[in-house]
Structure 1
Amino acid sequence: MAQTVLLDVSGVLYQGSRAIPGAVQALSRLRAAGRQVRCLTNSTRRPKRRIVAKLQDLGFDIQPEEVFTPVAAALAWLERTGHSPHLLVHPALEEEFRGCKDGGPPAVVIGDAGEAFSYDNMNRAFRVLLEGAPLIALADNRVFLDGDGRLSLDAGPFIKVLEFAGDAKPKLFGKPDPEFFRAAVASTGAEPQQAAMIGDDAESDVAGALAAGLAAGYLVRTGKYRKGDESRCKPAPTATVADVQEAVDRLLAQDGE
């Protein structure tokens, strides 16, 4: 039985400014069936407080401690190692790093910076890497579904540029890093083999979760999903379903509920 269910946020629970039809009810059904729920997002264009507020405004029964973002793990690493962040992130995310120490050895921290991915900003980060700074990647997704309904470049391609030019191996903190999934599952008291993932990204969400040892990974045909995604990544999804409602149907039916 999947005691814990992990869900991606954008593309699974909501798209743009609206909840995906049936998603609020699907989350409620999981809770009513006694499942622990955690939301995992690689979104790095807004701080966690705004992600939680948006979910709550859309009607989702979600508390801050149930939402996992890569930033918290990166902040813990910075504090543990004594590094100071050289930020290449979206301006809206900078508030998350205001409490970081100054004066430590620099670490380049990169997220989805959007318009801040200018040549000057990329080149400054590149030069910091040349001095030996580590490269901290908050997420390495290739693309995301933009507000106009079309795919746009995410942080992944820009991380590859710095990795290539700066000869720096990035340290990843978001999906598909196995520890990101395992930390979310561990917060519920479950083991990875007692958890399932529901996502719209075959690579980062589903294959990443299965590689981390989760029992099941469901790929939804909402959000960034494109026809044939289920055959492009290994491990393959447990099932490809219409939406989060169908994923929850299957999970609960598998457990005889």
Structure 2
Amino acid sequence: MIKGVLLDISGVLCDGYAAMPGAVESVSLLRAAEIPIRFLTNTTRQSKRQLIHQLQSFGINAAPDEVFTPVAAARAWLVENGYVPHLLVHPDLEEDFADCRADGPIAIVLGDAAQRFTYDNMNAAFRNLQNGAPFLALARNRVFRDLDGRLSLDAGPFVEALEYASGTKARLFGKPSSEFFLAAVASTGCDSADVAMVGDDAESDVAGALSAGVGKGILVRTGKYRSGDENSVAPEPSAVVEDIRAAGCYILKMRNR
């Protein structure tokens, strides 16, 4: 039985700045079936405000409390523990940290910084880690599908480089963190066994969700998916389907099973 749905955004609902075929209709059908939906993303090149605006521009209405990004959890950690963020992130993400404290001990916060992944910026983060700064990773995905349709390096390789150099293990706030998935599940009011995760990343989206206790992991053959991805992870996907339209049909069929 599927009573709630977690949807990845990039690669599932959109490809760059365009909606995937069937995305708007599929979300509408799920909402018509009164299935609670949460939108999950590890994307850290856009603020939450920009993400919501993008979804709405496609015709997908997403309320702020339905959109889960790693930033909110990282900010809560910073506040709770009294740290100032040393940001190594994309400039568009800085607005999500604008109201963080400006004085106190430093914690490194790393996302997909794109062109900001320079030697000087990485070395500055490394030196702070050497001095004992905690390491907060907003994501550690290996790759993402870029605007040219090809795969590009995501934040993960840079997280691992700093971990290797400094000997400091990063605390992960995005997928595949179990805490991230379970926070989204809890907001639906459903048991985790009755929730399905739909993603294009077999490792981070699907295996991560299943390892966290989410009932179904549905892998779509869009976005960053490459042939055979489903055979390279454990747990294996519950289903592998062509796209979000097929995923929506699968969910509706499983609604009362």
- The residue type paired with residue 7 of structure 1 is L
Q: Is the 8 A contact 1:13 1:19 kept in 2?
A: yes
CA distance in structure 1 between the partners assigned to 2:63 and 2:156 by the alignment:
29
What is the CA distance between 1:19 and its match in structure 2? 0.8
What is the CA distance between 1:61 and its match in structure 2? 2.1
- Regions of 4+ moved over 6 Å: none
1:7 partner SS: strand
- The residue type paired with residue 101 of structure 1 is R
Q: TM-score, normalised by structure 1?
A: 0.98
2:251 partner SS: helix
Q: Is the 8 A contact 1:89 1:109 kept in 2?
A: yes
**Structure 2 gaps, min length 5:** none
What is the CA distance between 1:244 and its match in structure 2? 1.0
CA offsets, 1:14-68, max 9 Å, x none? Answer: 1012111111110111111110000000000010000000000011121111100
CA distance in structure 2 between the partners assigned to 1:106 and 1:194 by the alignment:
40
Match of 1:30 in 2: 30
2:180 partner SS: helix
1:39 has 2:26 as partner: no
1:187 partner SS: helix
Matched-pair identity in %: 58
Aligned length: 257
- The residue type paired with residue 70 of structure 1 is P
What is the CA distance between 1:78 and its match in structure 2? 0.2
- The residue type paired with residue 255 of structure 2 is D
Match of 1:8 in 2: 8
Match of 1:126 in 2: 126
Compute the RMSD of aligned alpha carbons. Answer: 0.9
CA distance in structure 1 between the partners assigned to 2:128 and 2:17 by the alignment:
37
**Structure 1 gaps, min length 5:** none
Which runs of structure 2 are paired with 1:52-201 in the superposition (5 Å)? Answer: 52-201=52-201
CA offsets, 1:70-107, max 9 Å, x none? Answer: 00000000000001111110111111111111222110
CA distance in structure 2 between the partners assigned to 1:2 and 1:255 by the alignment:
5
What is the CA distance between 1:255 and its match in structure 2? 2.6
CA offsets, 1:99-157, max 9 Å, x none? Answer: 11122211000000000000000000000000001110000000000000000000000
CA distance in structure 1 between the partners assigned to 2:221 and 2:21 by the alignment:
13
Match of 2:242 in 1: 242
2:209 partner SS: helix
- The residue type paired with residue 42 of structure 1 is N
